[in-house]
Chain A
Amino acid sequence: MKKRIRFVLNGEKRAIDVAPQETLLEALRDGLGVKSPKCGCDRGDCGTCTVMIDGRTVRSCLVLGVEVDGAVVTTLEGVMENGELSPLQQAFLDRNAFQCGFCAPGMIMSATELLARNEQPTREEVQEGLAGNLCRCTGYSPIIDAVLETAGVVPKGGRDERP
């Protein structure tokens, strides 16, 4: 039997009916038409379905829709600031930090949480922070550089010269 849930999605109050067996990913994509979280492995290994619940990233394929009743959910669509790309999104764009783009929403959500909790991460901390987000195109270097550039650790367009 479907249950009515109420939550805040990207700053807007929403109420939808979900079946208990529906995952948050399915509820977002199929129920609400929010398409930035992708279904990759569907078992929490690839990170492409990453969204935030109450400011912390989760794998939305491993959360049930009914569990977010009363929560604040943020997807990539909610990361833009006043209609403009966030500095992190801009750095991803400037550095060609994605190619096919499939991993990018999850990468940006994970990196957004990382920078919110650690303003000046080391390269190793960025690697650890993004370890559960797989990218099959870029080899990760431009992604890590984009995160470090946003943190001001690496100069704009420059390289990470640290050992």
Chain B
Amino acid sequence: MPITHSFDYQKPGSLREALALLARKSAVALAGGTDLIGHLKEGLVSPELLVDLKGLKELKKIEHRGGALHIGALVTFAEVIDSKVIGKKLPVLAEIARKVASVGIRNRATLVGNLCSAVPCLDTGPILVAMDALVLVKGKRGSRKIPAEKWFIAPRKTARKPGELVTGISIPLPRGKAAACYLKLGRYRGEDLAQASVFVSIEQSSRGAKARNFRVAFGSVGPVPCRARKIEKALAAGGALIDMVALKKLVPAEISPITDIRASKEYRLHMCQVMLERALAAADGRLNGTGPAYGASLL
């Protein structure tokens, strides 16, 4: 299907220039384009100007500073997978990136583009809301840092205002020893959108040898990624012992799955319970050095 709508194309050399161009009515930012070009073909967007960001080297960085991981808007999923810093500081992010689409898409698609598209099944949603990530936004009037939980408003709807550009994200890293796990359920292995997904992170707490903090979030089972605070609280209260029967009973209150082309709501709910148990076991094992390697197939 060719793109029938015509538009102008510009590739600015500085962020300032890019923001000035994006301030124009009906200008849209282009990074990887794997979603945007599909939307242009389907007529879902009809901009007058595409502003290609790929000339902005400052948006290409992956950095570890101030106890957080900063990922620029032009960083692709392939670069997340290959990054040594991410492999060392937050390997679960590479585990997530490996589950996104296919190699040919990951070579082009950016992590920030994924959260700007904000479809309910996005793979980067659960980790960002669970880890209290900040979405870094710049506009002509200045910068904003938006907590991930406030970023996602509804399917395909985010807190970004017209003319604003997401320059990157910042993920605070756990202070103590930590491990995590991301499980994505698809209809088959390989390139598919998530029917349901679970992210779990366990962090050793400074409050005592046995005290641990938990972060849990689900994806593809609600209009936006769901942070599961009741489950987190129950887990932290339980200490080393995890009462899975009681925990699974909390899942229905945390998510709101629907029946669609990819799965029924009953199947999604059931699998969220199954995957929560497996992700907890894997993350717990990884924390103790006995768990499966990051990226291993656990479903």
Contacts and interface: CB of A to CB of B under 8 A. Distances in A.
B7 A47 contact: no
A43 interface: yes
Contact of A43 (B38, B107, B191): B38
Given A43-B41, A64-B37, A131-B102, A1 B107 contact: no
A interface, how many residues as a size bin? 35 or more
Interface string A9-23: 000000000011111
A113 B78 CA distance: 13
Contacts of B34: 44, 59, 62
A47 B102 contact: yes
A54 B19 CA distance: 28
A74 interface: no
A132 B41 contact: no
A66 B34 CA distance: 15
Interface residues of B, number: 33
Interface in B54-92: 54, 78
A23 B102 contact: no
Contacts of A3: 9
B33 A62 contact: yes
A3 B50 CA distance: 13
Interface in A10-65: 19-23, 26, 42-45, 47, 50, 56-59, 61-64
Contacts of A1: 8
B103 interface: yes
A58 B107 contact: yes
Contacts of B241: none
A45 B30 CA distance: 20
Contacts of B78: 56
Contact of A20 (B1, B38, B50, B98): B50
A20 B8 contact: yes
B5 A132 contact: no
B104 A66 contact: no
B271 interface: no
A63 B108 contact: yes
